[in-house]
C-alpha cells in the first residue's frame, strides 16, 4: 500500500528529539524552530511529560466519556488557573479542526442562527464547517461550499460594522485567530477584537477565539486574544495543548449552557490525553515558559528587524513572521539544508518561527547568525 500523497515533504526522517533539537536517522542534529506546525510547546520529549504519560499508560490509557474521568476535572481546574478563565467550562476533543467545528456548532445551537463571519486569509481546519470558514478555495470541496460564511478583511472595523448593521440578527458567530498562522502571521489588532466583542454583545452573536495556533502561551499571554483586554465567548485550542500528544478542546463562557448530547466524542478527553495536557500546563508554570516566550521573542524580533534584507518582521512572543524578498526566496530551504534549522513558511514569501516556548537564548542567537550567513552567501 502507498501513502496518500497530500503533502510535499522534506526528505528527512526524524528519529530522536529533545527540547528544541531533533535528530534524523543518520544522526544529523537540527534546531527545531517550527515544532511540527507549532505543536511543541514545552519542548520535545520533556522528562515530566514523558513521566506523566508513562505513569498513566501503566494505569489506564482510555475509557469513553460514559464514565467519570477525574483527570478531566483536574485538567479543567488547572487550565482555568493557568489561563485565568476560571469560570469557563471545558469540552475536550482531539484536534484543532474538531475544536473549531464544535465551537461553531455550539454557537449555532446557542443562538439558533446560521451565519458565520470569518476573515480573509483565515485557516480554521479541514473538517466541514471549519474548512467552510477557511479562506482557501483549494481546501473547500464542493460539499463544503456554504452561503453561511461571510469573509471580511482582517482589522477592517468599518466592514465589520456594516456587515452587522445589514444582517446582525442572522449572525451566529464571529471566528478569528488572534494571530493568523497559516495566513502568514497577521496580528488581529486589539481595537478590532474589542470591536468584535462589542458588536457580538449588541447583536447576540458568539465571539470565537481560534487559539489553536496562537494560544497556549505562544504569544506570551495564555491566549493572544488577551492582549485586547476582552473575553471571547469560546476559545478553541489544540496544537501546544498536548506537546505532540493529540488533544484539542474548547473553553466556553458561563452564559452558554450545556445540553446533553449536543456535543460528543469517543476519544476526546481520554486518560492519556489528559495526563499529557496536565504535564504541559505543569511545565509551563514551573518553567515560566510564557515569560520566556516574551523575552526570547522580543530578542528575535529586535535582531531580525536589524537585518535589512528582511521585511515586515511581526508577531508576538514566539509566534514570529517576516517577509523574504524574491532574491532570497530559497532562504527557508537553505536554512534547513545548510544550517540544519527547521523553520515554517506561509505562501508566497513568509518565514514563520514557531519554536518551543522554552527556546534558549543561545539557540535564538545561533538562528540569527545562520540567517545572516545565508543572506550573505553568494
Ligand atoms: C488557527 C488554526 N486553527 C485550526 C487548525 C486546525 O488544527 P488541526 O490540524 O489540529 O485540525 C490549525 C492548524 O494549523 C490552525 O492553525
Query: What is the reported pLDDT for 348?
Result: 87
- For ligand 1, is residue 37 a contact (CB within 6 Å)? yes
Q: Read off the pTM.
A: 0.98
Query: What is the reported pLDDT for 161?
Result: 98
Domain boundaries, the chain: 14-44+288-376, 47-286
Q: What are phi and psi of 15, to 5 degrees?
A: -120, -5
- Taking the CA of residue 239 as reference, the ligand 1 atom at the shortest distance is 10
234 CA to middle of ligand 1, Å? 16
Give the 3-state secondary structure of residue 145.
coil
- Taking the CA of residue 125 as reference, the ligand 1 atom at the shortest distance is 6
Nearest-angstrom CA–CA distance, 64 and 82 = 26
255 CA to middle of ligand 1, Å? 26
Chain position carrying cell 458561563: 254
Cell of 215: 494560544
Which CATH number applies to 47-286: 3.40.640.10, 1.10.357.10, 3.30.470.20, 3.40.228.10? 3.40.640.10
Alpha carbon of 259 to those of 55, 90, 268: distances in Å? 34, 14, 17
Give the 3-state secondary structure of residue 196.
helix
pLDDT, tens only, 120-149:
999 999 999 999 999 999 999 999 999 999
- For ligand 1, is residue 118 a contact (CB within 6 Å)? no
Nearest-angstrom CA–CA distance, 199 and 152 = 15
Q: What are phi and psi of 370, to 5 degrees?
A: -65, -40
pLDDT, tens only, 87-112:
999 999 999 999 999 999 999 999 99
Chain position carrying cell 445589514: 166
Domain 14-44+288-376 has CATH 3.90.550.10: no
Most distant CA pair in the chain, distance: 64
- Nearest CA owner, ligand 1 atom 13: 125
Query: What is the reported pLDDT for 347?
Result: 83
Q: What are phi and psi of 154, to 5 degrees?
A: -65, 140
For the chain, list residues with pLDDT below 50: none
Query: What is the reported pLDDT for 378?
Result: 76
Amino acid at each position: 500500500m502507498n501513502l496518500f500523497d497530500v503533502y510535499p515533504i522534506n526528505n528527512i526522517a526524524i528519529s530522536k528529539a529533545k527540547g528544541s533539537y531533533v535528530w534524523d536517522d543518520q544522526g544529523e542534529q537540527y534546531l527545531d524552530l517550527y515544532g511540527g506546525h507549532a505543536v511543541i510547546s514545552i519542548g520535545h520529549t520533556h522528562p515530566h511529560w514523558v513521566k506523566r504519560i508513562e505513569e498513566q499508560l501503566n494505569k489506564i490509557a482510555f475509557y469513553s466519556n460514559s464514565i467519570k474521568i477525574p483527570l478531566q476535572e483536574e485538567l479543567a481546574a488547572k487550565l482555568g488557573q493557568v489561563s485565568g478563565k476560571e469560570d469557563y467550562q471545558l469540552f475536550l476533543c482531539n484536534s484543532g479542526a474538531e475544536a473549531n467545528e464544535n465551537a461553531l456548532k455550539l454557537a449555532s445551537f446557542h443562538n439558533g442562527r446560521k451565519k458565520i463571519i470569518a476573515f480573509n486569509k483565515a485557516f480554521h481546519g479541514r473538517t466541514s464547517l471549519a474548512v467552510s470558514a477557511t479562506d482557501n478555495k483549494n481546501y473547500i470541496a464542493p460539499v463544503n461550499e456554504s452561503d453561511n460564511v461571510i469573509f471580511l478583511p482582517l482589522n477592517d472595523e468599518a466592514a465589520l460594522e456594516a456587515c452587522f448593521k445589514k444582517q446582525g440578527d442572522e449572525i451566529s458567530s464571529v471566528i478569528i485567530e488572534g494571530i493568523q498562522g497559516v495566513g502568514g502571521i497577521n496580528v488581529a489588532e486589539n481595537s478590532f477584537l474589542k470591536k468584535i466583542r462589542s458588536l457580538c454583545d449588541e447583536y447576540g452573536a458568539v465571539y470565537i477565539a481560534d487559539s489553536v495556533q496562537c494560544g497556549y502561551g505562544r504569544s506570551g499571554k495564555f491566549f493572544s486574544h488577551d492582549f485586547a483586554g476582552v473575553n471571547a465567548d469560546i476559545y478553541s485550542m489544540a496544537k501546544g495543548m498536548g506537546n505532540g500528544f493529540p488533544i484539542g478542546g474548547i473553553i466556553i463562557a458561563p452564559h452558554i449552557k450545556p445540553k446533553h448530547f449536543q456535543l460528543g466524542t469517543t476519544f476526546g478527553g481520554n486518560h492519556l490525553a489528559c495526563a499529557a495536557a496536565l504535564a504541559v500546563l505543569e511545565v509551563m508554570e514551573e518553567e515560566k515558559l510564557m515569560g520566556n516566550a516574551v523575552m526570547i521573542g522580543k530578542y528575535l524580533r529586535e535582531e531580525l528587524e536589524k537585518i535589512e534584507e528582511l521585511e515586515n518582521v511581526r508577531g508576538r512572543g514566539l509566534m514570529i513572521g517576516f517577509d523574504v524578498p524574491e532574491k532570497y526566496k530559497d532562504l527557508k530551504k537553505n536554512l534547513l539544508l545548510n544550517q540544519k534549522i527547521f523553520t515554517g513558511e506561509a505562501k508566497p514569501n513568509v518565514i514563520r518561527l514557531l519554536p518551543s516556548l522554552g527556546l534558549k537564548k543561545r539557540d535564538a542567537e545561533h538562528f540569527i547568525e545562520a540567517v545572516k550567513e545565508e543572506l550573505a552567501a553568494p
